Structure 1
Amino acid sequence: MLNSEPYCFVFYICRYILKTIVLGQMLSLFICGTAVTSQYLAEQFQVNTPMFQSFINYSLLLLVYTTMLAFRTGNDSLLQILKQRWWKYLLLGLADVEANYMIVKAYQYTTLTSVQLLDCFGIPVLMALSWFILRARYKLIHFIAVAVCLLGVGTMVGADILAGRQDTEGSDVVIGDVLVLLGASLYAISNVSEEYIVKNLSRVEFLGMVGLFGTIISGLQLIALRSICPVYVWAVQLHASSD
């Protein structure tokens, strides 16, 4: 009679790999949907609300996962987590909020294709952070892939600059590309922190604390932007009238 244990092990590994691939593709599909709708709102309806979009996401996380933490007791309770690690989650929330804001804001200046391709700049940044923080180690093929990624990023930025100059929108395109690169770098910081917290603490703690601090930071920034924009418009109109 054949031993079934090796076959069970192989089946488990294949199922795990397949599950990982499917979940990754679903995540990519959702990200693509967010990108397309953000670009559509910015171009067709002139709806430029990057901070408000992020505020809704963080509010939903707050409603679900922070509430779950609030009902916990012991060392995993919301109060204990805030006492021990509040400043770390404050920095993490700030990085995550600004990454979302910059990426969505970039759709006002550059194209959907540029945003999606330049967003890959987060891969080499993430690998560098993982090397020092998570002690991850990579092979030569990984570094070659990163070099190709950086070459593609440089080519895309150069192509955007040349195309923008021909369309007399060079400065706007550059602003959009810079926003994407900064946002991708902040996303890398957030993703490395997420992996560390999920593996060493818990998924609920990460989502709950990001929801809490993300809602606070994005809410304050939303209020600040709504207060500054009318003043800026008034100053521009005043300057135009004086000329």
Structure 2
Amino acid sequence: MNSAKYGGGIWRVLYVVLLGQLVSFSMALMSFNASLSANLGVNAPFTLGFCSYLSITLVFGTVFLYRRQKLQISWYWYILLAFVDVQGSFLGLCLVLLSDSGVGGGGGSNPILGDVLVIAGTCFFGLSNVGEEYVVKKVGRVEVLAMFGAFGMLVSIMEMYPLSLKGRSIFERKSLAVAPWNQAVILTFVGFGIAGFMFCSLTPLVLEASGATLFNLSLLTADMWAVVIRVLIYHQKVDWLYYVSFLFVGIGLIIYSKTEKYPSEVSKLENADTERQYKLLPEEAVRE
């Protein structure tokens, strides 16, 4: 990490941790809006994702076109990255929508399928995060987010229709056609788009400042932020252990951020070792 840009010592740690928590909070907002849309009778995970990618494209795509930049990475790599991210987002959102809309009941009739979906979604998210970290550190976030949003929209549109699950039709075209389009439903889609924009625009900053490991560790608090949101909106009561666990996760993130070696620090240490070796060589030559 560039110490001139982020500061040193405790300020750098606070910057990284707080930035990660903003990403985690935005992810909790996405889950909340997805859950709310399911409760209102709309089950459309790809359409929700489309709103997120649309907001990213409108902002960063405009900036990219204004700068008249040329792609520094081939477009097909962005298609692959967008495809992986869309699948991970779908398997995360699909579980939220199915559980909140009551599909399959609450008895957990097919736990193996649920485990497979969770594992698959985690794998897709891991691949997406590592790939995004690589391209962000190589070309910057404007190009990455512009192409990421554009191809994410394209993949989402292509996958909105041919889906079914155990004989239950979850074609989004039909779901959207029969959806009760009122102000509350529209606000959930708008809210998801804004939260998705926050998540995607802040993610490259975390990946650039720290890396995919700390990014995924920061997301451990997303469920806790979701509890906080439900407490504030629905006035639900939660056990005090939630707050204790939140505290412990935060302490763990601070410890990890404090002890993590960033790329710039590693390069400085390597350069220092190299300079030390070069300084010793003449002295050794004189002694010989």
Query: What is aligned with 1:240?
Result: none
Does the 8 A contact of 1:107 with 1:176 survive in 2? no
2:85·2:125 contact (CA, 8 Å) conserved in 1?
Answer: yes
CA contact (8 A) 1:106 1:177 kept: no
Q: Deviations over 1:132-152 (max 9, x none)?
A: xxxxxxxxxxxxxxxxxxxxx
The C-alpha deviation readout for 1:127-176, integer Å capped at 9, x for no partner, is: xxxxxxxxxxxxxxxxxxxxxxxxxxxxxxxxxxxxx99x65422x4433
Q: Which runs of 4+ in 1 moved over 4 A?
A: 223-228, 230-233
**Partner in structure 2 of residue 138 of structure 1:** none
| Correspondence list, 1:26-65, <5 A | 26-42=22-38, 44-65=39-60
Any residues of structure 2 matched to 1:63-82 within 5 Å, and which?
Answer: 63-73=58-68, 76-77=69-70, 80-81=71-72
- Decide whether the 8 Å contact of 1:110 with 1:176 is kept in 2: no
Q: CA deviation at 1:195?
A: 0.9
User: Aligned match of 1:229 in 164, 171, 194?
Assistant: 171
Shift of 1:41: 2.9
What CA RMSD, in Å, does the superposition of the two structures yield over aligned residues?
A: 3.2
Q: How many residues matched?
A: 163
Which of 121, 137, 145 does residue 207 from structure 1 map onto? Answer: 145
Give the whole-Å Cα distance in 2 for the aligned partners of 1:33 and 1:47. 17
Tell me which amino acid in the other structure corresponds to 2:153.
T
Tell which has more relative contact order, 1 or 2 (C-alpha 8 A, sep 6+). Answer: 2
Percent of residue pairs bearing the same amino acid type? 29
Which residue of structure 2 lines up, in the alignment, with residue 153 of structure 1?
A: none
Deviation at 1:231, TM superposition (A): 10
Q: Is the 8 A contact 2:46 2:159 kept in 1?
A: yes
Greater per-residue helix proportion:
1
Q: Is the 8 A contact 1:95 1:186 kept in 2?
A: yes
AA at the equivalent of 1:175: L
- Report the counterpart of residue 123 of structure 2 in structure 1: 185
TM (norm. structure 1) is 0.58
Once the two structures are superposed, what CA deviation does each residue of 1:104-124 show, in whole Å capped at 9, x if it has no partner? 00114447xxxxxxxxxxxxx
Gaps of 5+ in 1: 1-7, 112-163, 234-243
**1:67 Cα offset (Å):** 2.0
Q: Which residue in the other structure is 1:217 paired with?
A: 155
TM-score normalized with structure 2 length: 0.50
2:92 counterpart of 1:96: no
Q: Which runs of 5+ in 2 are unaligned?
A: 176-288
What's the CA shift string for 1:47-73, capped at 9, x where partnerless? 211000000011111111122222233
